[in-house]
A and B are shown apart, each in its own frame.
Chain A
Amino acid sequence: MNQLASMKNFKKYIPLMKELITRDLKVKYRRSVLGYLWSLLNPLMMMAILTMIFSQIFRFNIPNYPLYLICGQTLWSFFNESTNQAMYSVLYNGALLKKVYIPKYIFPVSRVLSSFVTMSFSLLAIVIVLLVTRTPLHWTILLFPVPLVFLLLFSIGVGMVLSALSVYFRDVVHLYSVVTLAWMYMTPIFYSLDIVPEKVAFLIRCNPMYHYITFFRELLLYGQIPTAGVWIFCGISSLGALAIGVLIFRKLQRNFILYL
């Protein structure tokens, strides 16, 4: 009964979801001359700089380093941006929440989705790198949406937890910036897993982000389909994060209004 009502509710709020996503995209590039082009330029420029640093100065020996790098970097920056934005989403929309009933999960979810749209523009940057580096194209490339969907669900879950907690404790906001820094270094974005000591490598293998990124790279760079174990790990971690996010959010949302 309740479930049915909330499904119906969801349909009613699709226009709102669309409106919030377009708002995010508009605000993001407001008053910049190049606008959406930045979604393309930004990852390319970052890649160029990081490639210079890590292949010239630190001399990492990873074949097709630019592509290796931009794959990891695109997925990571999506995760980083979307969860950070989601964290503030309920706080920022306090004015609206105080005025009219809206299902509150709309805010973190729409934030993550708008980052997802931005990331889709950035995928074009990956295509450019694929072409420029003359990487042989494998048919496995067609499966590229799979790891992205895993990542999307995972980010929604994490975003929901953060957005709910940050309403009660603003400390979460400060803490999370440190957590993401540690998390970034624990994710092989610019290095590969072979160069880290075994103890650390074990830790990194527990990191879902490592698996989503590796999944994506296997498809694009190496033309391989990941083993069943990887699929299962990715599936469980993303759905698990989503479930935990929904549970915590539902439990906490009732009293949001008192803390906004």
Chain B
Amino acid sequence: MSKIRIVHYINQFFAGIGGEEKADYKPEIREGIVGPGMEFNKKFGDEAEIVATIICGDSYFNENLDEAKAKVIDMVKEYNPDLFIAGPAFNAGRYGVACGTIANAVKEELNIPVLTGMYEENPGADMFKKDVYIMETKNSAAGMRKAIKTMAPFAIKLAKGEEIGGPKEEGYMARGIRKNYFADKRGSARAVDMLINKLNKKKFETEFPMPNFDRVDPNPAIKDITKSKIALVTSGGIVPKGNPDHIESSSASKYGKYDIQGFNDLTSETHETAHGGYDPVYANEDADRVLPVDVLRDLEKEGKIGELHRYFYTTTGNGTAVASSKAFAEEFAKELIADGVEAVILTST
């Protein structure tokens, strides 16, 4: 049987092209393997091989979704592979979104099996786990070998059209698919067993975990914004020059509260960004590009808003755990309310 042919999609960093400053790299295709593809091929052995690798910058992809998708799909078509693999993206947000998006697009348009991998908190995971197989990985690229170790054999299974087991045994993220099967015991017996275990404080496993909805209803609109006190919050990591509280460039363990009273404009002398997940050049030149203090001050002077709150809250969104950002916001929201703030503008990169 001939080798299974695979096309691999990676970003500019794993291709060794560069970091954030090259995140606008346009899609490019190269014969054979690049970067992590090396380890994939090693694990595939004789069964499969990566025939081509597509490289695309994370910012380019996310800022030009339609064009990027179309270009990449054309590139994949050229090679007519048996399977498409994207990433793995670990906890890199834009990369994860790109991997999920392109894997899904390839699946829909070219009708071939697809696979990607990422950490469970990657935004791409929530967005696409129902549509494509996403292998669970660690939260950083240090887990590359381990990720490929599980992805490679699974990819071969997919390509061969073999029977795929449930998420726990295979290692992919639960997709919310219900499959009918005949169990040994009937439903009522299983339910009673579960209840008995629960009552006896023994371990039991639910057959159907309740979905996590967690949506919040929108608050009523502001009636008269010209009289309102507005506060700015950002996940773009804007901090006073020198980052006095050492907010981390990734996986932030804290947030900052800073005074902008008297500031009509943020400049490269007064403010900078601590965020390590995007090219900092533009934000460092003029932090208003992420935290629009200059415009809000003008609007305040013109009476278009009541007042710009004197404090802004900031943290870096890069790889910061969901639970952490939830905790930060819970805490400072209380302060905002106590300070009479009526509405918030939250900017993200």
Asked if chains A and B come from one complex, the reply is: no
Q: Could you list which residues of chain B lie within 8 angstroms of chain A, going by C-beta atoms?
A: none
- Chain A interface residues (CB < 8 Å from chain B): none
